[in-house]
Amino acid sequence: MGSILVVEGDPETRGAWTAALEDAGHEVITARGARDALPLLREGGIGAVVIDTYDPRVGIVELARAIEALPDAAPIVLVSGSPSAPEISARIGAAAFLPKPCDPEEVVAAVAKLFGQLRPVLVVEDEPTGPAPGRPVSDFS
């Protein structure tokens, strides 16, 4: 699954999201902004990125493009109170969008749903590998 990278400039919000995700069993790495996030993303091992859209130094679209360019690009959960955030979310292909303010539990639920979508499919073979107990191999009735 990989770690969850939380990119949030506000220390209180970043701490609340981090604590909630860790309580849910996730390993969390944090960054104050997009510039801090890029080196962490390049190291790999990130399963999802939770991003607040506001970062005056590096825009969310640029960060999303940088994530997309990585060989193991992590899906993005975009969180924002900006009126343009839904449009930005669609433009960057975010896997989930949460309007801000939101509870930390909503962030946890968005990540859980995302990982639920990425979970491998269990394949069950419907052909028996041998005769049923008590039945002869040649009986096809």
pLDDT at 131 over 70: no
How far apart CA 15 and CA 23 sit, in angstroms, is 12
pLDDT single digits (tens) 10-53: 999 999 999 999 999 999 999 998 888 889 998 888 999 999 86
pTM of the model as a whole = 0.77
Instruction: Name all domains of the chain by residue range, CATH numbers in brackets.
Output: 3-118 (3.40.50.2300)
Question: How far is CA 41 from its chain centroid?
Answer: 13
pLDDT at 136 over 80: no
Which of 37, 36, 22 is CA-nearest to residue 111?
22
pLDDT single digits (tens) 74-94: 999 999 888 888 888 888 899
